Amino acid sequence: MIDPGKAVKESSEPPPAVLAGKKLLTAILFGLAFGFFLQKGGVGKYNVLIGQLLLQDFTVAKIIMTAIVVGMVGVFTLHHFAKVNLHLQPTKIGAQIIGGTLFGIGFALIAYCPGTGAVALGQGSWDVLFGMAGLITGSYLFAEMSGWLKRTVETWGDKGKVMLPDLLHIPRGVFVSAFTLLLLAALYAMERFTTR
């Protein structure tokens, strides 16, 4: 059997200053498709996003969980046959709990997230512009503090790249199969017990 980790070269080439050719084309096409799908999914709309956080409208959860099932099965199949690299973010328990919670509180206030906010702008929901000004400001604020955060919060529970199957000591293929069934069951339950 092919070992995907060895067959695919590491994706560590230095990023070019300006995109060109095939790289530019893929960024354009995939960005267009992403925005198109998100808008058609209704997740550029204030009420659909806030409705998810109020547990009144489960559109967001349905989209995310379906994307996870389809994406996971495909990406792990491609990876098994050494066609793609995985791009795992390191697990940093402290940073992800604190960062995730701050993100969530911000999410409730602005209602749009970084990707769906782009879609909201495209469809003319101009209130997202205030949120975007905040997103730019918050990013710079983080950069200002990034040296200090890197030495403190980001070292709390820094575990490196960890995958759920490793954590539970289950073979990857078995985990993906079982997790697919679990997510499909959750989607079925959501469809059965929610109105939207």
Partner 1 sequence: MTLPRTSFAFVFAALSLGFPQLASAADFGVNATDYDGAAWSPYLVGAGIGVLSWLTFYFADKPIGASSFYATIAGFIGKFVSRRHTESLKYYQTNPPAVDHGFVFVICTILGGFIAAWTGGEIRNEWLHPMWVDRFGDSIALRAVIGFVGGVLMAFGARLAGGCTSGHGISGTLQLSAGSWLAVIFMFIGGIAAAMLLYTSL
Residue numbers 123-142 binding partner 1 by CB under 8 A: 123-128, 130-142
Beta partners for residue 160, in sequence order: 91
Would you count residue 39 as binding partner 1 (CB under 8 A)? yes
- The least CB distance from residue 172 to partner 1, in Å, is 8
Cα→Cα distances 191→51, 56, 57, 158, Å:
16, 13, 11, 37
The 45-74 site mask, x for binding partner 1 (CB under 8 A), equals xxxx-xxxxxxxx-x--xxxxxxxxxxx-x
Structure tokens at 187: 């989607």
Beta partners for residue 91, in sequence order: 160
Residues 5-34 binding partner 1 (CB under 8 A) are: 11, 15-19, 22-24, 26-34
Residues 151-190 binding partner 1 (CB under 8 A) are: 153-154, 157, 159, 161-167, 172, 175-176, 179, 187
| Cα–Cα distance for residue pair 102/57, rounded to 1 Å | 22
Is residue 99 within a helix (H) or strand (E), and if so which, with residue range? Answer: helix 93-110
Which residue, 65, 88, 64, is CA-closest to 76? 88
- The least CB distance from residue 1 to partner 1, in Å, is 20
Among 4, 80, 82, 106, binds partner 1 (CB under 8 A): 106
Would you count residue 2 as binding partner 1 (CB under 8 A)? no
